[in-house]
Amino acid sequence: MQRIFSILGWVGTALVFGAVAVRFVRPEWDQYGTWAAWVGLALVVLYTLGQWREILEYFRRRQARYGAVATAGVLVALAIALHNLPEEFAMAVPLVMNPNSIVYQSYVHTVYGMIDNPTAWYTENDWMEKH
C-alpha cells in the first residue's frame, strides 16, 4: 500500500511540474494545465495522508512540536504581511507615480538637485575638509 501511495505522490509531483511547463510552453493548453495542477495537488495530498503513521510518530517528539509551533507562527505572520501588502502598495503607487503629487515632486527635486549640484551630497564641514 505504501508503494502505491509513493507512486501516486510522484505522479502528482510530475503533474504539477507539467502544469507549470504547460503555462510557459503551450499557453493555449492552459485549461489542461489547470486540471493537471489540481489533480497533481490531490495526488500529493493523498500521498501525504497515506503517510499518517510516520507523521504521527514524528510529531510525538518534543523538538518537532516546538518546530511546528514556530513554523505556524512564521506562516501566520507571513500571511498577515502578504494580506496587507496589496493595500499598502495600492496606496503608495499613486503618490509616487503621479507627477502632481508632492511625493513625486520632492523626489524629482531631490534627485535632480543632487545631480545639478554635487555639493549637496556633502555637509558644509565635509566640503571644507575635502577641498
- The answer, yes or no, to whether residue 113 has pLDDT greater than 90, is no
Domain that holds residue 8: 1-60
CB neighbour list of residue 27: distance below 8 Å, 6 or more residues apart = none
Most confident of the ranges 56-60, 81-85, 97-101: 56-60
| 35 within domain boundaries | yes
| 5 within domain boundaries | yes
DSSP H or E segment with residue 45 = helix 30-50
- The answer, yes or no, to whether residue 39 has pLDDT greater than 90, is yes
**Which residue do the cell numbers 510516520 mark?**
54
Of 19-23, 70-74, 102-106, 113-117, least confident by mean pLDDT is 113-117
- Please count the structural domains in the chain: 1
User: Grid coordinates in use for 16?
Assistant: 504539477
Average pLDDT, whole number, for the chain? 77
Q: How many CB atoms lie within 10 A of CB 39?
A: 15
| 73 within domain boundaries | no
Q: Report the amino acid identity of residue 43.
A: L
- The answer, yes or no, to whether residue 33 has pLDDT greater than 80, is yes
Distance, first Cα to last Cα, the chain = 81
Residue pair 27/34 in contact by the 8 Å Cβ criterion: no
* pTM of the full structure: 0.47
User: What is the rounded distance in angstroms from the CA atom of residue 112 to the CA atom of residue 115?
Assistant: 5
| Mean pLDDT, residues 83-102 | 62
| 104 within domain boundaries | no
- Pick from 62, 58, 15: which is nearest to 36 by CA? 15
| 51 within domain boundaries | yes
CB neighbour list of residue 94: distance below 8 Å, 6 or more residues apart = 101
Higher pLDDT, 109 or 76: 76
| 55 within domain boundaries | yes
| 23 within domain boundaries | yes
pLDDT in tens, 50-77: 888 887 787 777 777 788 888 888 889 8
